[in-house]
Amino acid sequence: MLKANIVKALGAMSGTSLDGVDAAVVFTDGERIEAFGEFDYRAYSEAERETLRAALGHWEGAALDLAAEVVENLHAEVLAGFEDIEIVGFHGQTVAHDPKGRGTLQIGNGALLAEVLETPVVWDFRSTDVRFGGEGAPLAPFFHFALAKFIKADAPIAFLNLGGVGNITFVDPRFDRPDEEGALLAFDTGPANAPINDLVSLRLGIDCDAGGALASRGEVISDIVDRFLEHPFFYRVPPKSLDRDAFAALKEDVAALTTEDAAATLTACAAMSVVKAMEFCPELPTKVLVTGGGRHNATLMKMLETALDCPVAPVEDHGLNGDMLEAQAFAFLAVRVARGLTTSCPSTTGVAAPVGGGEVSRPVLGGGIATTAMLANR
């Protein structure tokens, strides 16, 4: 167990947009945030990204082994660059998510990383939640609750993460704990950056629609957006979560469009997903703070500002780092797991009761050179 005061925790995240590995330090006791520390990012090469894409949707097989090696090697490289870390939160890479069926699968071996880094590593954050009837996602809401306290919010706010998949957390900071009834409501909103990224990667060989430039020049095909919003997911009462490719049919829907029109239409789908999600919030939040890569998409942000009935702003307006929030979340959650605190509750994942999830692996070999070789030859 960790000592009972503030510790220097390091979190890492590789999201469904498959852009790279974020790593960030949080000084926390697992309940409150004292400060944020240094951070780093490494992009996947195109070859690495293709290896990860080949593993998506698989539950076993050689493709997973190859992808896990990519995930572990890049995480080891990034995380080794930090000093005086007391605990690491390692999310791994989600390749399949079917919480009401086969479960959820994040590749990457945290025990192996613990040996390489010679530091305790908390990992496999989602499995316990799924085992007790939860969706296993989203997991950042308890961190969002601490963030609301950190920025001294005194009325309900929402954190909107626009990654490969979008998710929203409604936070009422007037409560004392995140697992109190009414303190949080969290769920996936729908596809966000993933369909857009896949479109431009396939057609143009680029990673994303930078700044929403392509979408800004295109026409939104409203018939496609309307059909998209008829999907049963949007009528399910939250909590609820999505696999990255749950809306794979969108690719076919925009296949005959120009790249600009397809980008505009997919961007509108992402925005309207959020509009539908807001209907489930207990009350209108005083503001929506946007994190994740989607906040850099000016076209998407403009659509949200036009469609929502409350202010929309990037989290940077409150001095936060929207590129690192998810990595910071897993640093925070790692400390909660190590201290036996809850990490999800019925209103965030639909789990039967508040639970703590995650496996703690501590280094036992103590040989940096040898254990790095282990990773390379896993």
Residue 142 lies in a domain: no
Let me know whether 254 and 299 are in one domain: yes
Give the CATH number of the domain where residue 182 resides: 3.30.420.40
Residue 358 lies in a domain: yes
Let me know whether 309 and 253 are in one domain: yes
Domain count, the chain: 2
Let me know whether 179 and 261 are in one domain: yes
**Does the predicted model carry a pTM greater than 0.85?**
yes
Q: Which residue range is the domain that position 102 belongs to? A: 7-137+335-340+347-376
Let me know whether 311 and 355 are in one domain: no
Residue 147 lies in a domain: no
Let me know whether 33 and 125 are in one domain: yes
Residue 146 lies in a domain: no
**SS3 annotation, the chain:** CCCCCCEEEEEEEECCCCCEEEEEEEEECCCCEEEEEEEEEEECCHHHHHHHHHHCCCCCCHHHHHHHHHHHHHHHHHHCCCCCCCEEEEEEEEEEEECCCCEEEEECCHHHHHHHHCCCEEECCCHHHHHCCCCCCCCCHHHHHHHHHHCCCCCCEEEEEECCEEEEEEECCCCCCCCCCCCEEEEEEEECHHHHHHHHHHHHCCCCCHHHHHHHCCCCCHHHHHHHCCCHHHHCCCCCCCCCCCCCHHHHHCCCCCHHHHHHHHHHHHHHHHHHHHCCCCCCCCCEEEECHHHHCHHHHHHHHHHCCCCEEEHHHHCCCCCCHHHHHHHHHHHHHHCCCCCECHHHHCCCCCECCCEEECCCCCCHHHHHHHHHCC
Let me know whether 193 and 67 are in one domain: no
Let me know whether 266 and 131 are in one domain: no
Each of the 378 residues of the chain gets a pLDDT tens digit; together they read: 555 689 999 999 998 778 899 999 999 999 999 999 999 999 999 999 999 999 999 999 999 999 999 999 999 999 999 999 999 999 999 999 888 788 899 999 999 999 999 999 999 999 999 999 998 988 999 999 999 999 999 999 999 999 889 999 999 999 999 999 999 999 999 999 999 999 999 999 998 999 999 999 999 999 999 999 999 999 999 988 887 778 889 999 999 999 999 999 999 999 999 999 999 999 999 999 999 899 999 999 999 999 999 999 999 999 999 999 999 999 999 999 999 999 999 999 999 999 999 999 999 854 443 333 333 334
